[in-house]
């Protein structure tokens, strides 16, 4: 009994630190939020100015995308349909950044670009499954805008820390409430696949059969945070570990034209940081100077500084998620091989794991990034049709 009591104290201590660190870091991050696009030198503000006449939020809190009739694109799409070419959409993982997927889908709909096949990893499996199950774009928007941080934290249901800190039962209930309850892959309007990872051998698991909620729940299970999902005889976790943007999955499902949404915020080509003798010496000198200054402060101030320093840097959620982001960034390039169009939403760089309050910014970032890629989409359609000649 005493061992069990001590373990429970440990669980709640970890969760208290986790949530405390989250709020401390998030409060600082709000004032330092940037809106740079990870894929180009154009900023979020640049895009807002460029598309000021295209993107609106109505009084009913709905996004509206106004685009000019593009006869050339409509004809290309019609020709692709005649040739039997199918459009595939690969939705990448990225926690809260995944709300940008809603903006991408909204814009594709505005241009009447069909979505014949969908594959999703992690948050991409959430948005993809909802859309494939028949949810309208308005329903997707409502869902995205309704997921506020207060509700997100309420969904955290601690469990005995054997294979994860959070059981995920509340998140499962939320997903069932939105659209997935009792649905199977056979019920979907659009062919869909969710990508997960088998935790024991690291195999990529592409799920296309069975209960939809089980597949999505497995795909979003961040290792160390959520408990793995037992699926048949396997234990599954977040698909981003092996395939952060499942472009190859939609291709295997029969897509001829592949549009991928990459939510990676890490640049895999960052130069290495070297610590040589000079670095160490200068660091020691600065430290000794700081020590002299610290000696002049009161004991109370030292204590406050120590407490504040314990909350500096990323919290446990961010450490695990950032580690996954770093790993994913280095395999995303490989995952995107064979992709025809890669869309990187604007404004995702500084979005943290649970920044669901940034839904409007993210949806708009997805809209604007897709608008930028319309000329590229037309080029790809011409190339595909030429191959058919």
Tokens of residue 228, six digits: 């793995």
Helices then strands, each counted (H, E), the chain: 14, 12
| 238 part of the active site | yes
Say whether 94 sits in a helix, a strand or coil.
Answer: coil
Which candidate, 23, 108, 104, 101, places its Cα nearest to that of 70? 108
C-alpha R_g of the chain: 23
Catalytically annotated residue among 116, 238, 256, 325: 238
| 122 part of the active site | yes
What distance in Å separates the CA atoms of residue 383 and residue 83, rounded to the nearest whole number?
A: 13
Catalytically annotated residue among 122, 125, 129, 219: 122
In the block, residue with structure tokens 């698909």: 239
Which candidate, 119, 72, 53, 63, places its Cα nearest to that of 92? 119
Contact of 265 with 38, CB cutoff 8 Å? yes
255 contacts: CB under 8 Å, gap ≥ 6: 86, 87, 88, 116, 117
Residue 121 zone, left/alpha/beta (φ > 0; ψ -120 to 50; rest): beta
Q: Which class for 278: exposed (0-12), middle (13-18), buried (19 or more C-beta within 10 A)?
A: exposed
DSSP 270: P
* Cβ neighbours of 379 (radius 10 Å): 14
In the block, residue with structure tokens 């040739």: 83
Q: Which class for 87: exposed (0-12), middle (13-18), buried (19 or more C-beta within 10 A)?
A: buried
What distance in Å separates the CA atoms of residue 365 and residue 46, rounded to the nearest whole number?
A: 11
Return the active site residues.
Answer: 122, 238
């Amino acid at each position: 009994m005493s061992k069990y009591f001590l373990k429970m104290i440990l669980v709640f201590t970890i969760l208290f630190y986790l949530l405390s660190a989250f709020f401390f870091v998030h409060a600082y991050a709000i004032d330092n939020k940037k809106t740079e696009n990870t894929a180009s030198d154009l900023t979020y503000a640049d895009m807002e100015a460029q598309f000021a006449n295209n993107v609106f939020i109505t009084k009913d809190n709905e996004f509206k995308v106004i685009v000019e009739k593009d006869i050339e694109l409509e004809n290309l799409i019609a020709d692709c349909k005649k040739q039997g070419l199918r459009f595939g959409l690969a939705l990448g993982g990225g926690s809260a950044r995944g709300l940008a997927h809603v903006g991408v889908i909204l814009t594709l709909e505005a241009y009447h670009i069909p979505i014949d096949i969908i594959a999703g990893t992690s948050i991409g499996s959430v948005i993809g499954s909802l859309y494939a199950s028949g949810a309208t774009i308005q329903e997707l928007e409502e869902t995205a805008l309704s997921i506020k941080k207060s509700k997100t934290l309420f969904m955290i249901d601690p469990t005995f820390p054997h294979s994860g800190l959070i059981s995920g039962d509340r998140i499962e209930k939320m997903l069932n409430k939105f659209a997935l309850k009792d649905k199977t892959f056979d019920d979907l309007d659009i062919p869909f696949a969710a990508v997960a990872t088998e935790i024991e051998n690291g195999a990529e698991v592409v799920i296309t059969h069975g209960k939809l909620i089980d597949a999505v729940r497995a795909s979003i299970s961040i290792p160390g945070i959520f408990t793995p999902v037992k699926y048949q005889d396997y234990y599954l976790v977040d698909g981003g570990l092996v395939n952060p943007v499942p472009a190859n999955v939609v291709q295997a499902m029969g897509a001829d034209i592949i549009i991928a949404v990459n939510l990676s915020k890490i640049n895999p080509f960052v130069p290495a940081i070297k610590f040589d003798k000079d670095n160490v010496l200068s660091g020691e000198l600065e430290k000794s100077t700081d020590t002299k200054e610290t000696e002049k402060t009161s004991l109370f101030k030292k204590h406050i500084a120590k407490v504040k320093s314990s909350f500096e840097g990323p919290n446990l959620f961010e450490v695990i998620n950032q580690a996954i982001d770093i790993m994913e960034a280095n395999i995303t390039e490989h995952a995107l091989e064979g992709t025809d169009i890669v869309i990187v939403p604007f404004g995702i760089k500084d979005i943290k794991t649970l920044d669901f309050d940034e839904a409007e910014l993210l949806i708009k970032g997805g809209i604007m990034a897709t608008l930028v890629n319309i000329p590229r989409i037309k080029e790809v359609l011409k190339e595909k049709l030429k191959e058919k000649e």
